[in-house]
Structures are given as C-alpha cells and as structure tokens.
C-alpha cells in the first residue's frame, strides 16, 4: 500500500458547532475540505496521546455518505488505523447505534457522517460528528484544538488506491447496523410486556422521516414487538430525506402532528430526526413536550427493567423547562442542569452522577450510551403505557395534577444576518433591563450564564441569557450551534401553573403574551424586520 502526502491549504469555517462540523453539502464538496478536517481530527487524537488505531464509521445515509466513506477510510488507514468498523453497508444508521458500537467494540473513537436534523441533498447540509472512546461527541477541549489545527494544516496523508480497493482493505469490516442496537434495546426494556400490549390492540405510528431509523424501527416495533406492519411510515432511507427537513417538531413535521391531534391517531405517535437522536412524542390528541417527556420518564423509570434499581441522578439542559426538577425533588434525586450539547451530559454519565437525561431539542437518553436516542425514548413510553395500562393523556394529566404544569414553548429565528445578531447580543449584554416592563410584569433579573462541569471542571462561557420576571416567567435565549447559514436565535419560555383549571390550555396559547413581551424586549422587529418565527413547540 502506498501512503502519499498531499499538500493542502486551510479552509475557513471548519469550526465544529454543538454537534460536530456542519456545512452546506457543496462546501464539503470543495477540494480537500473533507480531508483537511479528517487529518486535523486525527492530529488532535495523536497530540492528546489518545489511541487512534480502531475507528467506527457511521452515517445517517444522507447525500455524500457513500461517496465520502472510501475517502475517510484511506485517510484513517494512511494515518495508522489498524481496524475500521463500518456500521451498515449503506452507511445508514442512527447516531445512537453508532455510539453503542463504539462502546461495545471498544473503539478508539468514531466519525458519524450526519448533519442531524438539517436537510440533506446537494443543496442541503452535510456534517461530521467526531466521537470519543466513550461513544460521545468530542468535548470543547478537543474541538477547540481541532479547529485550531484546521487553520494551520498544510498536508494530509492518504492511500493511493481506488475507492473500491479502500472498501476491500483487510482492516475494513462491515457490521450489521441494526442487530447490535436492537439487541441492546431488547436487553433494556420489557419486550414481552410491550408485545402483549400490541397483541391487545395497542397502536403506534412512527414516522422515520425518510431518514436513518426506518430499518431499526421495523426490526424493533414490527418484527420483535409485533406492531402492525403499517406502524412505520416514511421508513425507507433517502439521501435527500425525500426533500423533508427531518426535524421532529411541530413546525417541520406537521403530518404526524395532524394525524395525532386531528386525525385517526394512534395510542402513541412518534417521529425522529435525520440521525435518530431526536424524537417527538404524541398521545391521541395530545402533544408531549420534550421537558414533560423527561419528567414522565423520570417519574416512571422503575417500570423499565434497565432502570428498575433506580437512577443515580438526572440532568436536563438549561433551556429545558423545570418540569423534571419538580419530579426529581419529590423522588429525592439529584437533578443537574447543563449547557446545550450532549457532551455536557456525557461527562456526568461517565462519572456515574446521572443515569437519565434530556434536553430541549427533542432528545432524551441514558447511561448505556453517550448520545441521545430517539428509539430509546419511544420504547420508554411504550414500556410505561404497557406497564400502567394508561393512555398518554392520562399519564400527562397525572403529572400535572401531582406537580403542577410547567408551560413551555420554544421558537427560533433561523438563518438571520450574523452581523445583526452580534449587535443584538451586545445590546442584550449591556442593556439595563432589570425593572423594565414585561407585559403586566417586570424583569426581575438578567443573567449571562456560564457553566463549570461538576465532574471534570471543564467550563463553558456564553451558555445563554436567562431573564426572570416578577410573574414567574423564565425566558432563555441562546444562539444555535447547528445551523449552516447566517445565525439562528433560539428562545425558550416557561411558566409554572398550579391552577388545574388551566392545565388543558395549549402551551403556545398560554405563553403567547410572554412571547410577545420577549419579542419586544429583544427588539426583534427592529433588529430582524423580515425574520420568520419558527415555532418548534
């Protein structure tokens, strides 16, 4: 085999965001863009004295996954890899399955070709998630070093062989993308009980959004659990996700929302994103927000065989609502709050401080892997439904009855002008807002949050801005780290409501005045007169 060294020039904008490097597909197609990033990542593995001999490669099946696979293999091999494990011949697997494979086979790390919930195709997005030996995304100390390396890279190593030869290298092995993952799920949940629930007529409607979870969903829900054959929809994988924006929220998946809220529905409705880590949950005529979903999981965790002995603690991201805090407090569980980005959960999971966690961006997961996991969340719900014999609505009503309801909404302004965003951030940082009007209330505090990881001591600045008001509303503001064009503003608003007569109100309706007041406070129409508001929930 002939290793060659290729001269290259740095590409700008190879800074990893919240979940790896994401860019337009066409940007990734520029000469050496992929190679520069891969070589830089491998250089960082080595500079940190991490083993870099055995890697897992996975992908969510989107455009460029198959084309890039041999090129990634060649770079890994030329840099000394002795074993390369590829998850599925068609490079279509959920990110959580890849996380499991990295852990199970004790790989030194992995590369997941995915831009997650971002659209795919030649005019869509591509991305690479760099995974650590724990099966989780690289921490900031790694991605900062990686970004610095991309700015000075001068050459990369590769093999001078054809793509077919790369795929046939003796160090390359392909493994089944579904079996290990389905076995893992079967070992954690009460499959016989869920099977009986389906036999008695329980129904699920699962929307894979033409992305990576269709095969696993068919294997688990239909084959192993006996759900009716039509339970999985849009289950084939398409490189452009059939033109969908594969993001499971009320804005980008109105189809499942409509089917569950206004149509015939099913006992459980669910959808997941491009790479199968985000999920959205419905019962008949009811939407379950991700923070409420985490609260329900925490409350009922003992029904899940894997968690039957209890949880070491739970965690939520800071923008997530405080619903789970109320449950954890009553159950005597530690409840941590971390910045957005699953890696912050991963260090608490590694330290054994928590065993269940969830975040605002439609994701929950546990200590068995280091990524959030859509199918895990759905099985969690199925297991609770089967064990309690209750409906989703009954479970939600019980939660609100016993703890009060934390109303929650989330909305964004996507792809707006980055320079204007910088001005807005400066305004918010410097403006003296305390005491300012907020609807009928007033602003009580404004805090720019920073974070210190209680397990590792790692720090994060610029976590976001938290505004508390005199009527108990909390507004949280941060910038998205997963967009590829301009900048995206994310807003999260919550309010605790103890009055049971109000529990049935739609959360967007309930929070409408608070959202209008927040828009005025942040001078949205002045800074971004043309921006469209995307309401996720």
Contact code string over 278-307 relative to ligand G16, x by CB under 6 A:
x-----------------------------
Token pair recorded at residue 3: 């290793």
Q: How many of the chain's residues bind ligand G16 (CB under 6 A)?
A: 15
Tell me the closest approach of the beta carbon of residue 131 to ligand G16, in angstroms. Answer: 11
**Complex with ligand G16: residue 278 or 405, whichever CB lies closer:** 278
**Complex with ligand G16: residue 473 or 482, whichever CB lies closer:** 482
Task: Report the candidate in 309, 310, 292, 321 with the shortest Cα–Cα distance to residue 402.
Answer: 292
- Length of the chain measured in residues: 537
Cα–Cα dist 291/206, whole Å: 20
**Complex with ligand G16: residue 116 or 322, whichever CB lies closer:** 116
List strands edge to edge, sheet with 363-366. 335-338, 314-317, 356-359, 363-366
List strands edge to edge, sheet with 21-24. 21-24, 125-131, 109-113, 54-59, 83-87, 172-175
Helices and strands: H and E segment counts in the chain? 19, 24
Contact code string over 239-278 relative to ligand G16, x by CB under 6 A:
--------------------------------------xx
CB 283 within 8 A of CB 267: yes
Q: Which residues pair with 476 in a beta bridge?
A: 466, 492
**Complex with ligand G16: residue 238 or 278, whichever CB lies closer:** 278
Is residue 340 near ligand G16 by the rule CB under 6 A? yes
**Complex with ligand G16: residue 74 or 117, whichever CB lies closer:** 117
Q: Give the interface segment with ligand G16, choosing from 174-182, 340-348, 423-431, 458-466 (CB under 6 A).
A: 340-348
How far is CA 111 from each of CA 54, 227, 450, 467, rounded to the nearest angstrom?
Answer: 11, 33, 29, 38
Token pair recorded at residue 211: 């992305």
Q: Which of residues 7-36 bind ligand G16 (CB under 6 A)?
A: 18-19
Q: Is 321 a catalytic residue?
A: no
Token pair recorded at residue 305: 């065989």
Question: Looking at residue 139, what DSSP letter applies?
Answer: P
Cα–Cα dist 249/256, whole Å: 10
Cα–Cα dist 265/268, whole Å: 8
Tell me the closest approach of the beta carbon of residue 302 to ligand G16, in angstroms. Answer: 26
- Helix-strand-coil split of the chain, %, nearest 5: 35, 25, 35
Q: Give the interface segment with ligand G16, choosing from 177-185, 255-263, 288-296, 476-484 (CB under 6 A).
A: 476-484
Tell me the closest approach of the beta carbon of residue 345 to ligand G16, in angstroms. Answer: 8
Is residue 359 near ligand G16 by the rule CB under 6 A? yes
Enumerate residues 6+ apart whose C-beta is below 8 A from 263: none
Tell me the closest approach of the beta carbon of residue 162 to ligand G16, in angstroms. Answer: 33
Is residue 486 near ligand G16 by the rule CB under 6 A? no
CB 335 within 8 A of CB 241: no
Contact code string over 432-471 relative to ligand G16, x by CB under 6 A:
----------------------------------------
Question: Looking at residue 114, what DSSP letter applies?
Answer: -
Given 23, 40, 116, 507, which residue is catalytic? 116
Q: Can you give the three-state secondary structure of 212-272, one letter per residue?
A: CCHHHHHHHHHHHCCCCHHHEECCCCCCCHHHCCCCCCCCCCHHHHHHHHCCCCCCEEEEE
**Complex with ligand G16: residue 172 or 377, whichever CB lies closer:** 377
**Complex with ligand G16: residue 19 or 269, whichever CB lies closer:** 19
Token pair recorded at residue 344: 């912050």
Tell me the closest approach of the beta carbon of residue 120 to ligand G16, in angstroms. Answer: 13
Burial class of residue 501 in the structure, from the number of CB atoms within 10 Å of its CB (0-12 exposed, 13-18 middle, 19+ buried) = exposed
Contact code string over 116-155 relative to ligand G16, x by CB under 6 A:
xx--------------------------------------
Tell me the closest approach of the beta carbon of residue 104 to ligand G16, in angstroms. Answer: 21
Is residue 207 near ligand G16 by the rule CB under 6 A? no
Work out which of 143, 279, 482, 484 binds ligand G16, going by CB under 6 A.
482
Is residue 321 near ligand G16 by the rule CB under 6 A? no
Contact code string over 58-97 relative to ligand G16, x by CB under 6 A:
----------------------------------------
Is residue 481 near ligand G16 by the rule CB under 6 A? yes
Tell me the closest approach of the beta carbon of residue 482 to ligand G16, in angstroms. Answer: 3
**Complex with ligand G16: residue 38 or 130, whichever CB lies closer:** 130
Cα–Cα dist 355/349, whole Å: 6
Token pair 């030869």 in the structure block, residue:
165
Is residue 342 near ligand G16 by the rule CB under 6 A? yes
Is residue 99 near ligand G16 by the rule CB under 6 A? no
Task: Report the candidate in 129, 115, 59, 120 with the shortest Cα–Cα distance to residue 87.
Answer: 59
Token pair 């990881």 in the structure block, residue:
453
Q: Can you give the three-state secondary structure of 63-99, one letter per residue?
A: CCHHHHHHHHHHHHHHCCCCEEEEECCCCECCHHHHH
Is residue 213 near ligand G16 by the rule CB under 6 A? no
Is residue 490 near ligand G16 by the rule CB under 6 A? yes
Tell me the closest approach of the beta carbon of residue 122 to ligand G16, in angstroms. Answer: 20
Q: Give the interface segment with ligand G16, choosing from 285-293, 430-438, 443-451, 479-487 (CB under 6 A).
A: 479-487
Catalytic positions, written as ranges? 116
List contacts with ligand G16 (CB under 6 A).
18-19, 116-117, 277-278, 340-342, 359, 361, 480-482, 490
């Amino acid at each position: 085999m002939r290793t060659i060294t290729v001269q290259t020039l740095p590409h700008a904008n190879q800074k990893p965001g919240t979940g790896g490097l994401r860019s337009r597909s066409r940007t990734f197609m520029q000469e050496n863009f992929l190679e520069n990033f891969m070589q830089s990542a491998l250089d960082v593995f080595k500079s940190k004295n991490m083993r870099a001999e055995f890697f897992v490669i996975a992908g969510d099946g989107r455009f460029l996954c198959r084309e890039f696979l041999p090129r990634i293999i060649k770079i890994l091999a030329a840099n000394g890899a002795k074993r390369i494990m590829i998850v599925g011949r068609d490079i279509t697997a959920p990110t959580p399955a890849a996380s499991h494979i990295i852990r199970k086979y004790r790989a030194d790390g992995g590369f997941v070709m995915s831009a997650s919930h971002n659209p795919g195709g030649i005019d869509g997005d591509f991305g690479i998630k760099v995974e650590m030996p724990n099966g989780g995304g690289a921490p900031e100390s790694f991605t900062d070093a990686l970004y610095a390396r991309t700015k000075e890279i001068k050459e990369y190593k590769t093999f001078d062989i054809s793509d077919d030869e790369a795929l046939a290298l003796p160090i390359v092995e392909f493994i089944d993308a579904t079996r290990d993952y389905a076995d893992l799920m079967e070992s954690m949940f009460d499959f016989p009980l869920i099977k009986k629930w389906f036999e008695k007529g329980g129904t699920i409607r699962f929307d894979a959004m033409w992305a990576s979870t269709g095969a696993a969903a068919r294997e688990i829900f239909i084959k192993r659990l006996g759900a009716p054959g039509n339970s999985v929809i849009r289950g084939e994988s398409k490189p452009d996700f059939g033109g969908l924006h594969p993001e499971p929220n009320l804005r980008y998946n109105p189809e499942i929302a409509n089917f569950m809220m206004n149509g015939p529905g099913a006992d459980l409705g669910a959808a997941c994103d491009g790479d199968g880590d985000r999920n959205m949950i419905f019962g008949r005529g009811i939407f379950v927000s991700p923070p409420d979903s985490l609260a329900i999981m925490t409350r009922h965790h003992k029904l899940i065989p894997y968690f039957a002995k209890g949880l070491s603690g739970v965690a939520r991201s800071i923008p997530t609502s405080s619903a789970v805090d109320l449950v954890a407090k009553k159950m005597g569980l530690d409840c941590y709050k971390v910045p957005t980005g699953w890696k912050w959960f991963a260090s608490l999971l590694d330290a054994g401080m928590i065993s269940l966690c969830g975040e605002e961006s439609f994701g929950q997961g546990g200590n068995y892997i280091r990524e959030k996991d859509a199918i895990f969340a759905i099985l969690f719900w199925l297991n609770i439904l089967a064990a309690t014999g209750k409906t989703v609505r009954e479970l939600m009503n019980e939660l609100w009855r016993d703890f009060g309801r934390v109303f929650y909404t989330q909305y964004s302004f996507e792809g707006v002008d980055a320079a204007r965003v910088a001005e807005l951030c400066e305004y918010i940082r410097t403006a003296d807002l305390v005491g300012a009007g907020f609807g009928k209330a007033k602003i009580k505090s404004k805090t720019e949050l920073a974070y210190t990881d209680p397990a590792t001591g790692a720090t994060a600045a610029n976590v976001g801005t938290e505004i508390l008001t005199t009527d108990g509303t909390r507004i949280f503001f941060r910038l998205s780290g997963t967009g590829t064009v301009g900048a995206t503003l994310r807003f999260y608003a919550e309010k605790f409501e103890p009055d049971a007569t109000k529990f049935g109100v739609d959360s967007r309706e309930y929070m409408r005045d608070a959202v209008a007041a927040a828009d005025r406070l942040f001078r949205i129409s002045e800074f971004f007169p043309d921006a469209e508001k995307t309401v996720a929930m």
